[in-house]
Amino acid sequence: MSFFLLRTWQLGAKSLLLHPMRSLLTVLGIFIGVASVIWLLAIGEGIGREARKQIEDLGATNIIVRSIKPPSEVLEGATGLVPYGITRADFERLTATVPTLEQILPIRELRRRFGYADRMVDGRLVGCTPEYAAVTRLVVDRGRFLTDADVGEKQNCCVLAAETAARLFPLENPIGRAIHVEESYYVVVGVMKPKNPTAAIGGSFAGQDFSNDVYIPISTLWNRIGDFVITRRSGSFEGEVVELSQVTLRVAKTEDVVETADLVKETLNRYHRTKDTGITVPLELLEQARTTQLMFIIFMGLIAAISLLVGGIGIMNIMLATVTERTREIGIRRALGAKRADIIRQFLVETVALSIVGGVTGVLGGLTCSPVMRQIRDGLAKAMPNVMSQLPDVIKTMEPNVVPWSIPLAFSISVTIGVIFGIYPAMRAAAMDPIEALRHE
């Protein structure tokens, strides 16, 4: 029996090699389909992973509350300094009334110009507490981050982001030097490692770029700068009062996040009628991202399945042509005693062989996804730098991630399609009348 099966495979391979170009084109259809399944699922997984990473950086147990400037129609008629956003009273109220809180972090952000000697940098001045580094996943490169003593004593010290330090101190060690922020001076006590910017998430959380930051104790910011923001425009000025730009609340258990967020929202709505605060819950966004990624992967898989279907149709087309060409051969084999099952087996072996070769080469082609994508991206960056610079960061930094289960899935589908689309030609060949087949010219 084993000899008979081996002989059948040998005959099948010989028949396919008689028409190498036709067999190669048929294999190419399966190759494209299998490689498409692996590539599209890998790209979908890579994009989904980047999106999840952006959200996970915010912390699954965090609740982020940000100040939002009300629209102009809400502020219409307001004169002088317009207060809005989170207040210190809100901060104290949340600290005292929300029982599930493990930690609450106040943050105040301002756009400022930083200088040292004759060098200037426009960036973000962030008033914060020592916990800010852990919450935003900042890592110290040199020196140290802010301490509780710095906040308690309202020290005039600062920590620089990596790019701020590189631009202000290209050839010097910034530790111990003093930079000036408008009329104030702050002694540098630390430098952070580079951190990628985060994308905008939801309507209440804008993207954040950490590259040009300067971090100072929030108590120092309140003491030296205060809550007033003055914007001058062509001889006139516009004033705002903002006490806190953001409050990050950390909950001990993920099970308490949604309930805590509802309580925070209810508390703030009681004191903010103009909707000048927004709440972002990374856990909810993470669950939405996973659902969206699953739908995206299913959609990409369906597109790839169409490619495999086209390859299967190609196999059927070729095998039907082969049946017509080999009508006389089929008649001779039937006349010599071959049964219909033998004819069906012979043609199925050929279609399965084509599918296996296409599946194996398709898997190998699918595994080249990451290096090929990098080459394409590098080539486009050199050929069209302006276009590439305008693309979202997730596209420029995304690395395809081959999904392990996509390899056996794609290969098994290719073999299954070979069998399914080879059955009809094989049965048609087996159903021929031997006498009519022998008369065929």
Mind listing the pLDDT tens digit for each residue in 111-131? 899 999 889 999 999 999 999
Residues 69 and 216 occupy one common structural domain: yes
Residues 42 and 83 occupy one common structural domain: no
Domain range for 95 is 62-252
Residues 99 and 11 occupy one common structural domain: no
Residue 278 belongs to some domain of the structure:
no
Specify which of 12-16, 150-154, 276-280, 365-369 reaches the highest per-range mean pLDDT.
150-154
The count of domains in the chain is 2
* The pair of three-digit structure tokens given for residue 204, joined into one six-digit string: 């209440």
Q: Is 234's pLDDT higher than 70?
A: no
Average pLDDT score over the chain: 78
Give pLDDT, residue 167. Answer: 93
- The pLDDT confidence band at residue 345, using thresholds 50, 70 and 90, is confident
Q: How far apart are CA 178 and CA 158, in angstroms?
A: 9
- The DSSP 8-state label assigned to residue 86 in this structure reads B
Residues 51 and 79 occupy one common structural domain: no
Residue 136 belongs to some domain of the structure:
yes
Q: Is 204's pLDDT higher than 50?
A: no
Residues 17 and 149 occupy one common structural domain: no
Give the three-state DSSP class for 64.
Answer: strand
Question: Is 95 in contact with 317 (CB distance < 8 Å)?
Answer: no
Residues 102 and 33 occupy one common structural domain: no
Residues 245 and 342 occupy one common structural domain: no
The answer to whether the pTM exceeds 0.75 is no
Residue 412 belongs to some domain of the structure:
yes
Residues 220 and 331 occupy one common structural domain: no
Residues 155 and 296 occupy one common structural domain: no
Residues 155 and 99 occupy one common structural domain: yes
Residues 293 and 385 occupy one common structural domain: yes
Residue 280 belongs to some domain of the structure:
no
Residue 160 belongs to some domain of the structure:
yes
Residue 276 belongs to some domain of the structure:
no
pLDDT digits (tens, 9 = 90+) for 378-420: 787 788 777 777 766 666 667 787 878 888 888 887 788 777 8
pLDDT digits (tens, 9 = 90+) for 132-182: 988 888 899 999 999 999 999 999 999 999 999 999 999 899 999 999 998
Residues 90 and 36 occupy one common structural domain: no
